[in-house]
Structure 1
Amino acid sequence: MLIAAACCPCPPLLVPEVASGAAAELDELRAACSDAVGLLAAARPERLIVVGPAEQAGRGPHPQGSVGSFQGFGVDLQVRLGASGGAETARELPPSLSVGAWLLERAQWSEPVEALGVGEPLAAERCLEVGRELAAGAGRVALLVMGDGSACRTEKAPGYYDERAAAFDAEAARALGAADREALAALDAELAAELQASGRACWQVLAGAAEGADLRGSLRYDEAPYGVGYFVAAWS
C-alpha cells in the first residue's frame, strides 16, 4: 500500500559538483527536495522505490546497492542506491535515478530502497498498471518520483520556446500539488513528448500507485530555471 510520495525534478545540475559555479542558483530547489525527502522518512515506509525516466539501457528494476555516476557530466562522482547492504550490479543507474540516489545519500537514508527506470514513451495505461503493481507489493510503500516538466518555456530552453509549455506545466504542477491522480493520468503523452517533459510517465506511475490511497498533496516548488519546469511535491 502506498503511504507517501515525493516528486522531485532530476537535472544533474541539482548536484552541486555538476553545477559547479552555478550551484547556488538551485539552492532553493535543493532545499525543497530535501524537505520532500524528509517527509518520506517521517512516513516510516518499509519499502522506498525511486522511479525515474530512463533510456533503454536503464529501464526496469535496479536493486539496492546499484551505482550511478556523473562522469558523463564531467564530474568524477559516484552514488550508491541505499546506504548499506545490497549487491552492486553491472548495470549503472540512469541519470534520473542517480540524482534520486544522491538525494537519498544527502538525507542519509538508511531504510530499504530499490529503483525503477521507466521509458518516457510508455503508454499512460501501462504506467498506471506499473504503479498499481508497485503499491500492491509487501509492506508500507513510498515512492520518490523523479522527472521534469517541459523543456520549452523560453527561447534558451533545451527544447526552445513552445507556447503550449506554460499551460502544460501549470496543470502538471497543480495536479502534483493537489495529489490529483486523475489529472495526472490524463496528461497527454504525445504533447509531453513534444515538450520534452520527462516526468510524464513517472507521474502516471504515481497516479496508478495512489489509487485508493487517499493521500493529500502539497506543492513545494514550481519554477522554470533554464526554461525547464521543475516541481517538488509531497504526498502523505
Structure 2
Amino acid sequence: MLVAAAVCPCPPLLVPEVAAGAASELDDARAACAQAVGVLAAARPDRLVIVGPADEPGRGAHPEGAHGSFRGFGVDLSVRLGRAVADTGPAAELPPSLAVGAWLLEHAGRPDVPVEGLGVGEPLAAERCVEVGRDIGARSGRIALLVMGDASACRTVKAPGYLDERAAPFDAAVARALGTADVEALKALDVHVAGELKASGRAPWQVLAGAAEAAGLTGTLLYEDAPYGVGYVVAAWS
C-alpha cells in the first residue's frame, strides 16, 4: 500500500558539484526536495521506490545497490540505491533521473529501508503507466515513492525547447494536480502535448497516479518555478 510520495524535479544541476558556480540558483529547489523526502521518512515505509524518466537503455527495474554516476556531466561522483552493495554490472547503471533521486536520498535523510529504482520510458502510454503504478500500490507492506521528473522545457526563448505558449498553462495544471494529489488530473495529462513540451515527468507522474488510486493521500505543493526555462515542481503526498 502506498503511504507517502515525494515529487521532485530531476535535473543533474540539483547536485551542487554538477552545478558548480551556479549551485546557489537551485538552493530553494533543493530545500523543497529535502522537505519532501523528509515526508517519506516520516511515513515509516517498509520499502521505497524511486521512479523516473529513462531512455531505452535505462528502462526497467534497478535493484537495491545499483549504481549511478554524474561522470557524464563532468563530475566524478557516484551514488547507489539504498545501503546494500550489489554487483549489478555496468548494464544496470542508473539513468540520470534515478541517480539524482539517489543523491537526494543520500543528502536529505533517506529512510533506512530497502530502496529500488524504476526507469520509465518517456513515450510510455498513459494507460500503461497507470497499470505499472497500480502494481506498485498493490504490493504488501508500506510503500513510499520518490517520483522524479520535470515539467515543460519550453517556458522561455532560452529554454531547451524554446518558448511555447502552451508551456505555462500546462505547468500550472501539473502543479495544481501534484499539489492537491489529484490522481484523475494526472491520469488525464496528454501524452502528445507533454512530449511536445518536453515534459519528462509525465510518465512518472502517471505511475504515481496509478499507485495512489486507493491510497487516499493528500498533497502539498512545496515549490514551483521555471529556472532555465524548465518547469520544476516539488510536492509531498501523505
Fold shared, TM-score > 0.5 on shorter chain: yes
Query: 1:182 aligned to 2:181?
Result: no
- Give the alignment of 1:126-165 within 5 angstroms: 126-165=128-167
Aligned residue identity for 1:94: P
- Segments of 5+ residues of structure 2 without an aligned counterpart are none
* Partner amino acid, structure 1, of 2:161: G
Partner of 1:22: 22
- Give 1:138 shift: 2.0
SS in 1 for 2:33: helix
Shift of 1:87: 1.3
Query: When the two structures are superposed, what TM-score results if normalisation uses the length of structure 1?
Result: 0.98
How far is 1:97 from its partner? 0.1
**Is this contact kept in 1: 2:38–2:109, CA < 8 A?**
no
Q: Is 1:120–1:198's contact at 8 Å kept on the other side of the alignment?
A: yes
The AA in structure 1 aligned to 2:84 is: G
**Residue 102 of structure 2 corresponds to residue 101 of structure 1:** yes
Q: Distance in 1 between matches of 2:145 and 2:191?
A: 21
Question: Cα deviation per residue 1:42-95 (whole Å; 9 max; x = unaligned)?
Answer: 00000100000000011000001010010000111111111x224131110000
The alpha carbon displacement at 1:108 in A equals: 4.0
**Contact 1:10 1:146 (C-alpha < 8 Å) held by counterparts:** yes
- The normalised TM-score by structure 2 is 0.98
Structure 1 stretches of 4+ moved >4 Å? none
**Identity rate, percent:** 73
Residue type of the alignment partner of 1:85: A
**Preserved contact between residue 153 and residue 165 of structure 1 (Cα < 8 Å):** yes
Amino acid at match of 1:102: W
Give the Cα separation in 1 of the matches to 2:43 and 2:85: 23
State the distance in 2 between where 1:52 and 1:96 align.
5
- The equivalent residue for 1:44 is 44
RMSD (Å), alpha carbons: 0.7
Matches within 5 A, 1:1-12: 1-12=1-12
- Alpha-carbon distance in 2 for matches of 1:46, 1:139: 6
Match of 2:19, SS state, is helix
**1:13-55 deviation line (CA, Å, top 9, x unaligned):** 0000000000000000000000000010000000100000000
Q: Is the 8 A contact 2:41 2:109 kept in 1?
A: no
Residues in 2 aligned to 1:135 and 1:125: alpha-carbon distance in whole angstroms: 15
Q: Conserved in 2, the CA contact under 8 Å of 1:67 and 1:88?
A: no
Kept in 2, the 8 Å contact 1:6–1:144? The answer is: yes
- Determine the C-alpha separation between the residues in 1 that align with 2:9 and 2:49: 16
